[in-house]
Structure 1
Amino acid sequence: MDTTVDVPRGLAGVVVTETGLGDVRGREGFYHYRQYSAVELAERRSFEDVWHLMFRGTLPADAAEQAAFAAETVPLRRLPAEVRDALPALARATALSGPLAGLRTALSLLGASAGFRPVYDLDPQRRAADALAACAAVPTLLTALHRLGQGLEPVEPRDDLPYAANYLYMLSGREPDPVRVRAVEQYLISTVDHGFNASTFTARVIASTGADVAACLTGAIGALSGPLHGGAPSRALDTLDAIGTADRIDSWIRERVLAGDRIMGFGHPVYRTEDPRSRMLRGIALRFGGPLVDFAVEVEQQVEAILAELKPGRELHTNVEFYAGVVMELCGLPREMFTPTFCAARVVGWSANVLEQAADSKIIRPAARYVGPPPPRPVPLPAWVRSAW
């Protein structure tokens, strides 16, 4: 009996499980983490508070609970000696591909050295401990790989700095500016989770096999590295560079749209209205001000007008990558670290999804419809055998 069911390409709109972690309501331009608006969380809370929410189910009840969670995570920032010693060679090996490629190997090594075991064999507390350790180590791994790739020594994490400030400190080696720290922290919070995107789904598929946390996160990083997923912030900024001046916006965009090219930073597979993350990041960019922000706003306005003219009814607006690139540029992050910075936030959402999936031991195993030549066909004998007969 055939029990297969045809679904849209890419599983668009197909519900594959239930989750208590959050949701994206694309027609409303709204998304949330558990019961809270993600944008409001970015405006009012710290990254650690949101991390606590995703892992423990609630925001910290008071300063004592907040401090206790920080006390758990801070020591986990420091890398085991065997991982730290391997990073120079890893940075050399990934010199052309960058820190995100290096992170795949480094995180796998971290899991192996820490003795991460398959989530199928662990109780919920041990799974959560492994996930917490992986999340805490990711910023240290990313910044160390970046600095080694630049011929610089890694900067050890500081116990007195929160997550976002410590990330910027390890990246630059300088005391981070509070204004830039808060801007990056708001970006990090806004990208912790976003429904069943490609990388989150990848993490859950691997978790459904019972694999260890590092394996789940490594697979998610691989999915994130694609330019159609997390690889777009620097490309959106590259678009601004390619346009160059305001008088070239119209001709440059029209030429690309008519050629069928994708305009990086515009359009989203879920939102049918303005991306709320883009709206928030535009506000952050406007607080900085300056020529780059003015130009980005003008490009946004003209591109949306051109897309409305040439693709009527499509509702194509800026997505998170457009102003994320602008904000990270203004905060001094190198472009090769834009997507890794996204990863430093999303690893928390991936891990929360891994823990949720691990509580359900049903393996994710969809089907495919075969469309090749009709089987079975006789297997031909090799020519030399036929001639010998």
Structure 2
Amino acid sequence: MNDTLIDVPRGLTNVVAAETALGDVRGHEGFYHYRQYSAVELASERSFEEAWHLLLFGTLPDGAELVAFRERIALARAIPDEVAELLPAIARLTADAPDALAGVRMALAAVAAADRIRPLYDEGAYARVADAIRVSAVTPVLLAGLHALATGRVPLRSRDDLGHVANYLYLVTGEAPDARSEHAVSAYMTAAIDHGFNASTFTARVIASTGADLAAAVTGALGSLSGPLHGGAPSRALDTLDEIATPDRIDEWVTATVQRGGRIMGFGHAVYRTEDPRSRMLRGIAEGFGGARVEFAVQVERRVQELLAELKPGRELHTNVEFYAAIVMEACGIPRSMFTPTFAAARVVGWTAHILEQAADGKIVRPSSRYVGPPAPQPLPARVQGDQPARAAVTPPERR
């Protein structure tokens, strides 16, 4: 065994931790892809289920395959009766939680228990795929059900006649969406399925590498996504627009925010050094809806970039996916409290694809650390007189 330690950048920045055939992000080009296809083209021109099929099976489905896949997804949406009985209690427990995903983590763990989902280590390829579809299909239903309960409504039953995105919108809003809203949210959710080895995806792969069950890996990814430094919150982009309020306040608000070192929500990305391609696509979709809100958002985007060029010369800051995603979701009737859950409902498909890939690799992720504490070993200090440790209660062997 080679015990030589290799120093890497803090946060593993730009460290290649694994190989993947699922896709890549080329930040300097402003481009990312799912397998061999542009993710933005897929989002604009194909359905969510087609992109899902591509990531799971490596190919875009033909007509018959797509019909069969949609039927399989619809069957996988059902919430076990035991879990349905738990949802009201979970909704009450997490009603005031700052983490919008706390409830679904609890509910998903309950589904895994009810379904008897086994460790990846003990399952074959077919069973792993079945688990991936099951978890990805039921997660949006759980999210919508918890939202309904939190707002005093009875959760609706899924409709088999609706596609994955349309069914989700129906469960959240109570109404089947029109074609424009379905396409808009489908484009956003498809664009959000995967985005490289971000923190939540890497978390899912680390857990999967231990051979744990697929739902456990997704639950861990949900926990990672809940962190403010990762998942963000599209609703905060709307908060920014609300705070600015009117066009004449843009300069004042932006200048004050930059001078105090504040963050302009909806702008900037850790990877892209050009315009976020997802933002560009969603801007076009938002402009298709039109209205004062969209016009104001475009005006804010343009003026923020102009002001930053003056205040921070040489530093480009473009809108990220959150900015126009918030505008689009609001236009389609999704409440702000469901913006992050909607992102999670899409990203779970990417997580499960990565989990399957990691499970097939079979290698546990086990990095090392560099110890920087006091030198060891050192002699234990003498115990202070009278400072006797409490005796642990010992159960006689025959009573154990």
Report TM bin, short chain: over 0.9
- Does the alignment pair 1:103 with 2:112? no
Deviates more, 1:120-129 or 1:174-183: 174-183
Q: What's the TM-score, normalizing by structure 1?
A: 0.96
- Does the alignment pair 1:239 with 2:231? no
What residue identity is the alignment partner of 2:280?
A: R
Q: Indicate if the aligned counterparts of 1:99 and 1:146 stay in contact, CA closer than 8 A.
A: no
Structure 2 partner of 1:70: 70
Over 6 Å off, 4+ runs: none
Deviates more, 1:222-231 or 1:198-207: 222-231
State the shift of 1:65 in Å: 1.0
Q: Indicate if the aligned counterparts of 1:39 and 1:190 stay in contact, CA closer than 8 A.
A: yes
> 1:94-117: CA deviations, max 9, x gaps?
101265210001111111110111
Cα distance in 2 for partners of 1:134, 1:268 equals 29
Structure 2 partner of 1:160: 161
- Does the alignment pair 1:80 with 2:80? yes
- Does the alignment pair 1:116 with 2:117? yes
Cα distance in 1 for partners of 2:379, 2:250 equals 60
- Does the alignment pair 1:225 with 2:226? yes
What residue identity is the alignment partner of 1:209?
A: T
Q: Indicate if the aligned counterparts of 2:205 and 2:355 stay in contact, CA closer than 8 A.
A: yes
- Does the alignment pair 1:24 with 2:25? yes
Structure 2 partner of 1:362: 363
> Secondary structure of the residue that 2:377 maps to in structure 1?
coil
Structure 1 partner of 2:393: none
Structure 2 partner of 1:129: 130
State the shift of 1:172 in Å: 1.8
Structure 2 partner of 1:248: 249
> 1:286-327: CA deviations, max 9, x gaps?
111111111111111121122223333332211101111111
Q: Indicate if the aligned counterparts of 1:282 and 1:323 stay in contact, CA closer than 8 A.
A: yes
State the shift of 1:385 in Å: 4.1
> 1:66-89: CA deviations, max 9, x gaps?
101111111111111111111011
State the shift of 1:382 in Å: 4.1
Alignment of 1:213-292 (within 5 A): 213-292=214-293
Structure 2 partner of 1:143: 144
Cα distance in 2 for partners of 1:141, 1:348 equals 15
Q: Indicate if the aligned counterparts of 1:207 and 1:358 stay in contact, CA closer than 8 A.
A: yes
Q: What's the TM-score, normalizing by structure 2?
A: 0.93
- C-alpha RMSD of matched pairs (Å): 1.5
State the shift of 1:271 in Å: 0.6
What residue identity is the alignment partner of 1:78?
A: A
Cα distance in 2 for partners of 1:342, 1:289 equals 23
Structure 1 partner of 2:44: 43
Q: Indicate if the aligned counterparts of 1:99 and 1:145 stay in contact, CA closer than 8 A.
A: no
Identity among equivalent positions (%) equals 63
Q: Indicate if the aligned counterparts of 1:281 and 1:324 stay in contact, CA closer than 8 A.
A: yes
Structure 2 partner of 1:194: 195
Cα distance in 1 for partners of 2:245, 2:222 equals 32
State the shift of 1:372 in Å: 2.9
> 1:215-258: CA deviations, max 9, x gaps?
00000001111222223211121111111111221221222222
Seen in structure 2, the aligned counterparts of structure 1 residues 147 and 386 have a Cα distance that, compared at 3 Å, is closer
> 1:192-219: CA deviations, max 9, x gaps?
0000011101100100111100000000
Q: Indicate if the aligned counterparts of 1:236 and 1:321 stay in contact, CA closer than 8 A.
A: yes
State the shift of 1:30 in Å: 0.3
Cα distance in 1 for partners of 2:208, 2:250 equals 45
Cα distance in 2 for partners of 1:65, 1:39 equals 22
Q: Indicate if the aligned counterparts of 1:92 and 1:149 stay in contact, CA closer than 8 A.
A: yes
State the shift of 1:386 in Å: 7.7
What residue identity is the alignment partner of 1:199?
A: S
Cα distance in 2 for partners of 1:369, 1:310 equals 40
> Secondary structure of the residue that 2:101 maps to in structure 1?
helix
Structure 1 partner of 2:12: 11
Cα distance in 2 for partners of 1:165, 1:317 equals 30
Q: Indicate if the aligned counterparts of 2:25 and 2:31 stay in contact, CA closer than 8 A.
A: yes
Cα distance in 2 for partners of 1:203, 1:252 equals 39
Q: Indicate if the aligned counterparts of 1:164 and 1:181 stay in contact, CA closer than 8 A.
A: yes
Cα distance in 1 for partners of 2:262, 2:376 equals 39
Seen in structure 2, the aligned counterparts of structure 1 residues 244 and 130 have a Cα distance that, compared at 3 Å, is same
Runs of at least 5 residues in structure 2 that lack an aligned partner in the other structure = 389-400
Cα distance in 2 for partners of 1:99, 1:269 equals 23
Deviates more, 1:50-59 or 1:231-240: 231-240
Cα distance in 2 for partners of 1:306, 1:379 equals 61
Cα distance in 1 for partners of 2:321, 2:17 equals 25
Cα distance in 1 for partners of 2:210, 2:13 equals 23
Structure 1 partner of 2:301: 300
> Secondary structure of the residue that 1:322 maps to in structure 2?
helix
